[in-house]
Structure 1
């Protein structure tokens, strides 16, 4: 905890989805305002977010697609305040994997974890239509964002929404929002 701002919330957000859906690109776009066609995988990155008189320390965790190779690996869901379920709109397979990922998050993550659904690569040849993705999001009480990691403003909008949701669910409700 930062000595100068004892009330500064520290949040952990995990980006979950099958390999190649763009989790790393989303994180790099939000944190560094950069997009790379073939990004180097990162496990986590920290960013300070300053908005509305609040300062947040955010740790963004990239699951790196381990869910496909080891569906029993729940390490990434632990001690997370928020989760972005990410799928590639050009891949039906990545969308089909969402239900199992969602089930595992609800089973092994915090019951207070805030969730959003991101359909990435919306600028490409789309296979998964917005209506189907929106239906999944509605059924699971999530907000859906159709975007491309190439556009900084779209990525910022989705992640800031999740940060605001975490803040509301944890900090404003006087629940712990500090990483242990």
Structure 2
């Protein structure tokens, strides 16, 4: 049996149709493009296990997709339970998916850990019919104190670097001594408002 320094669970969140399943499939399809990715251990609909090596650490990443449950607002605390990190997605070609991001942060506040590292990812960034600019995505991410990246699963644009980034954030948090001072790389989303929107999406 393979031995791992860390086994981490990363969940995918975002509105129905933003590309979560395509991103998950891309992690598997393009894993050979990353020098840190050793192999795909297991992959089936809504779930994948990928082995990574980062800073000489052997890491097993369990990636979990919502499998469409978000369409009916049926995600519960069980989906968030045990999650070490999150990739929160919106579609740069669909305004509503961007406007709904504050609802997903509220859900994470209700069901998940307040200190779970989160990366905000705008999908389909190479599409010609973009309606959400990169600047708006970055502005919202800055307000929520999380990093922002744009990806395109079809072309493998930033796909594996996104996976590596979220793994690095999770491992940094897990390996951090409780006696250390808070780090700016430990991404907390504690400044958001739970009632109403205090951010501007214009």
The 10-residue stretch of structure 1 (61-70 or 12-21) with the greater mean CA deviation from structure 2: 61-70
Distance 1:8 1:121 in 2: 34
Distance 1:150 1:101 in 2: 25
Q: Deviations over 1:113-140 (max 9, x none)?
A: 1100000001111011111111111111
**What's the offset of the Cα at 1:24?**
1.0
Residue of structure 2 in register with 1:158 after alignment: 162
Aligned residues: 165
Q: In the alignment, is the contact (CA less than 8 A) between 2:92 and 2:133 conserved in 1?
A: yes
SS at match of 1:152: coil
Q: Deviation above 3 Å: which 4+ runs of structure 1? A: none
Max Rg structure: 2
Alignment match of 1:32 (pick from 29, 32, 36): 29
Q: Deviations over 1:121-161 (max 9, x none)?
A: 01111011111111111111111101211233511111111
Two-structure CA RMSD over aligned residues (Å) = 2.0
5+ long unaligned stretches in structure 1: 35-40, 175-180
After TM superposition, the score normalised by the length of structure 2 is 0.75
After TM superposition, the score normalised by the length of structure 1 is 0.84
Q: In the alignment, is the contact (CA less than 8 A) between 1:16 and 1:65 conserved in 2?
A: no
Q: In the alignment, is the contact (CA less than 8 A) between 1:10 and 1:57 conserved in 2?
A: yes
**What's the offset of the Cα at 1:71?**
5.0
Distance 1:113 1:64 in 2: 21
